[in-house]
Amino acid sequence: MLKSFKTEINPTAEQKVKINKTIGTCRYVYNFYLDYNKSLHDKGEKFMTGKSFSVWLNNEYIPNNPDKAWIKEVYSKAVKKSIEDGCTAFTRFFKHQSAFPNFKKKGKSDVKMYFVKNNPKDCQCERHRINIPTLGWVRLKEKGYIPTTKDGWKIKSGTISVKADRYYVSVLVELPDVKIINNSNDGIGIDLGLKALAIVSNGKTYKNINKSARLRKLEKQLRREQRCLSRKYENLKKGESTQKSNIQKQKLKVQKLHLRINNIRTDYINKTIAEIVKAKPSYITIEDLNVSGMMKNRHLSKAVASQKFYEFRTKLKAKCDDNGIELRVVDRWYPSSKICHCCGAIKKDLKLSDRIYRCACGYVGDRDFNASLNLRDAVTYEVA
Ligand SMILES: [Zn+2]
């Protein structure tokens, strides 16, 4: 896909001199080409194409006319383009598509400084500046208007024009691989886990809130209050003088802490889902976690319960329904962690402790992020 953008630039005084000199030279050469062909025609000779004229100009005319050496002092691609433009104008005239080409008048015509990407350094564009051959970095007045090189856009060519002492750049930009970019914007994959709650294929990570200082502190406080409560019960059994109202008070304290912790976890899930859904992906793919199986593992059960996976999935489903997003669920046996997102190879010996996925193809990436990309691209799934 090609797209053109025009915006005002803010060249330095030195750059302005160069631009004006280039445009002046282009105008001179354009007119010279027209004039030369006119005289050929008057002499009854054959029309000279732009290409032949360029060769003649550089190899014969300028070497034999040292006073015209200044033509060579400006960007040669711009000069060549002005000759090509003249040739196009003649061609149109010969085909009766337009009148005889006009000579360009200083200050009155639309001669532009053409530039083209010739090596990787040319035509790079950042938010606030653009790299133009022979000029170097030129400041842009409107920041971020032209798509930047970093976003994958490539500037193929462009022109600089001057109007009423204002300078403009017009560029032709190409998006190299529309398909890949569209697909990644299309849907997302979410890897749910214990280390982080969710790792999303769009690059976002939602940490495990249970590991936050705030929740750790509350959990510690809860354990302390629970111990205090059971001590009070034991004392009561032993017949010691513990008042029943004291036990009730302690019980309430524990319940309130439970509730507070639970609310923080639920809030976090709600916020996470809201943020994921806000990006309006066309689909979301998750893994069908074997939650009940994980709960049977007594080393994991508490951590699994605290992540509220079931609640996460139920709420995600509801939000997806509200927003017209397809929720895809892949089988729990789909090896999302073991597939190399880059080459498709399956790493059978991937251990749970391998946090970084390293593939023989050279791909190195976070294990869970790799998994989220595989979930995003999964082709076998059930729609929840
Ligand atoms: Zn690989």
What distance in angstroms lies between residue 142's CA and the mean position of ligand 1's atoms? 42
What distance in angstroms lies between residue 49's CA and the mean position of ligand 1's atoms? 53
CA 95/CA 47 separation, integer angstroms: 14
What distance in angstroms lies between residue 184's CA and the mean position of ligand 1's atoms? 19
Q: Which residue has the higher pLDDT, 241 or 18?
A: 18
Q: What is the tens place of the pLDDT at every residue in 278-327?
A: 888 999 999 988 777 778 888 888 888 888 998 999 999 998 988 889 99
Residue 37's pLDDT is: 94
pTM over 0.85: no
Residue 40's pLDDT is: 93
What distance in angstroms lies between residue 287's CA and the mean position of ligand 1's atoms? 21
Among 146, 164, 60, 70, residue whose Cα is nearest residue 110: 164
Residue 22's pLDDT is: 97
> Who contacts 233 (Cβ-Cβ below 8 Å, separation ≥6)?
247
What distance in angstroms lies between residue 148's CA and the mean position of ligand 1's atoms? 29
What distance in angstroms lies between residue 366's CA and the mean position of ligand 1's atoms? 13
User: Does 178 have pLDDT greater than 70?
Assistant: no
What distance in angstroms lies between residue 154's CA and the mean position of ligand 1's atoms? 28
- How many CB atoms are located within 10 Å of the residue 109 CB? 14
What distance in angstroms lies between residue 288's CA and the mean position of ligand 1's atoms? 24
Q: What is the mean pLDDT of residues 129-144?
A: 91
Question: Would you give the end-to-end CA distance of the chain in angstroms?
Answer: 36
Q: What is the mean pLDDT of residues 265-269?
A: 93
What distance in angstroms lies between residue 33's CA and the mean position of ligand 1's atoms? 57
Average pLDDT, the chain: 89
Give the model's confidence band at 63: pLDDT under 50 very low, under 70 low, under 90 confident, else very high: very high
Instruction: Evaluate whether 131 touches 109 at the Cβ level (below 8 Å).
Output: no
What distance in angstroms lies between residue 363's CA and the mean position of ligand 1's atoms? 5
Percent of the chain whose predicted confidence (pLDDT) is above 70: 96
Q: Return residues with CB closer than 5 A to ligand 1 (ion).
A: 340, 342-343, 345, 359, 361, 363
What distance in angstroms lies between residue 337's CA and the mean position of ligand 1's atoms? 12
What distance in angstroms lies between residue 347's CA and the mean position of ligand 1's atoms? 9
Residue 329's pLDDT is: 94
User: Does 170 have pLDDT greater than 50?
Assistant: yes
What distance in angstroms lies between residue 358's CA and the mean position of ligand 1's atoms? 8
Alpha carbon distances (Å) from 54 to 29, 34, 36, 60, 100: 10, 13, 12, 10, 21
Percent of the chain whose predicted confidence (pLDDT) is above 90: 59
Among 321, 327, 329, 323, residue whose Cα is nearest residue 278: 323
Give the model's confidence band at 240: pLDDT under 50 very low, under 70 low, under 90 confident, else very high: confident
Q: What is the mean pLDDT of residues 54-80?
A: 95
User: Does 261 have pLDDT greater than 60?
Assistant: yes
Give the model's confidence band at 180: pLDDT under 50 very low, under 70 low, under 90 confident, else very high: very low
Residue 357's pLDDT is: 92
What distance in angstroms lies between residue 376's CA and the mean position of ligand 1's atoms? 17
Residue 181's pLDDT is: 37
